[in-house]
Structures are given as structure tokens and as C-alpha cells.
């Protein structure tokens, strides 16, 4: 119960202020626990982020997969892959996934997170193969780069509305630079 409360507090802190806001004193304040109690559950900020990713990334990936399953065509699956990820940017769970780039994560944690991210990319490989890509895995990695750029643009509060960014990303994914 306390662990879940700490993770929920971490999501809020990351959502409100990014990785800098995720501190043990802030976790203690948000949960009403003593700061020393936070250390009983997590040894470091990196451990909090790692557990958030372990808990939240599968939920996020399942939402993307579900959206793709609902699509009937390869193009629809690619569109769902892009749109669902961009729609999840506003979700508090997404902040934890974004926080994985924090430099304080150890090599093992980064590798586990990279593997989970590879699972997300694997979801769209078949659809890209069905569209005729000779190297669907490479195409999937490049497609994810377009999604990641859209995510960053939305997070930065770009001049374009998130829906416009999603439309541009889907167009890029399905039509290339011709639009």
C-alpha cells in the first residue's frame, strides 16, 4: 500500500515538475511518510523511476497494442501506433517513461528499459512488413523516431496543438515527406 502511494506520488511529481521534482523529501511530503521511510522502499531516485517504468510501461504498451488490434488495415495499425502514443503524452504514467532518460539510471536499468521499448517497436513491424517495407524493423525504429519527436514537441508546449502534431506525425508515417 505504501509502495503504491509512493509510486503515485512520484507520478504526480514527475508530471508537475519533471525529474528535478522527484526527490525523497517531496515523496515523503506527498505521502505523509517520514523521509527515512521512503528509503525503506527505494534506495534512490533511479530506483523509483525504474519501478515506475516496470509498472507503467506495460500498461502503456498494452494501450498501444489494443489500439492497433482494433485497426483493420496495416495503414490503420500504423496510424493507431502513432496516435495512441501521442495521446498518452498527457497521461501521468508517460512522465515516468520519459524520465528514463535521466542520467542517473544504472546500465542494467537502462538495458531493461531499452528492451521494453524494443517490445513497443516490435508491435508495428508486422504492419510495416505488410505495407511492403523491405526492412520493416528498421522502418519501425525510424517510425518510433517520428513518434518520439512528436512526443517532445507536445511536451515542450509547442505552438501547434497536440492534435496537429499527431496529424503531422501520422501523415509523415503514412506518406513520408510528401505529406
Domain ranges of the chain: 1-42, 45-178
Burial of 30 (0-12, 13-18, 19+ CB in 10 A): middle
Backbone angles phi, psi at 161, to 5 degrees: -70, 150
* The pLDDT value given to residue 138: 95
Helices (H), 104-135: 107-130
Burial of 85 (0-12, 13-18, 19+ CB in 10 A): buried
* The pLDDT value given to residue 178: 78
CATH homologous superfamily of 45-178: Tetracycline Repressor, domain 2 (1.10.357.10)
Mean pLDDT for each consecutive 10-residue tract of the chain (179 residues)? 90 80 92 92 86 84 95 97 90 63 62 76 93 95 93 84 94 86
Match 534512490 to its residue by C-alpha cell.
44
* The pLDDT value given to residue 97: 60
pTM here is 0.80
CATH homologous superfamily of 1-42: Homeodomain-like (1.10.10.60)
Q: How far apart, in Å, are the Cα atoms of 47 and each of 12, 135, 178?
A: 16, 36, 44
Amino acid at each position: 500500500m505504501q509502495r503504491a502511494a509512493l509510486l503515485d506520488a512520484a507520478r504526480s511529481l514527475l508530471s508537475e515538475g519533471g525529474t528535478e521534482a522527484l526527490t525523497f523529501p517531496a515523496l515523503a511530503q506527498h505521502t505523509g511518510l517520514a523521509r527515512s521511510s521512503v528509503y525503506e522502499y527505494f534506495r534512490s531516485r533511479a530506483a523509483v523511476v525504474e519501478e515506475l517504468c516496470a509498472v507503467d510501461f506495460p500498461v502503456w504498451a498494452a494501450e498501444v497494442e489494443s489500439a492497433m488490434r482494433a485497426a483493420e488495415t496495416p495503414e490503420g495499425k500504423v496510424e493507431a501506433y502513432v496516435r495512441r502514443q501521442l495521446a498518452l503524452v498527457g497521461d501521468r504514467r508517460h512522465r515516468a517513461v520519459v524520465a528514463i532518460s535521466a542520467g542517473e539510471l544504472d546500465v542494467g536499468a537502462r538495458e531493461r528499459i531499452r528492451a521494453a521499448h524494443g517490445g513497443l517497436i516490435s508491435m508495428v513491424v508486422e504492419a510495416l512488413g505488410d505495407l511492403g517495407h523491405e526492412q520493416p524493423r528498421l522502418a519501425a525504429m525510424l517510425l518510433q523516431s517520428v513518434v518520439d519527436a512528436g512526443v517532445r514537441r507536445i511536451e515542450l508546449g509547442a505552438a501547434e496543438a497536440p492534435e496537429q502534431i499527431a496529424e503531422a506525425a501520422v501523415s509523415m508515417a503514412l506518406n513520408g515527406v510528401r505529406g
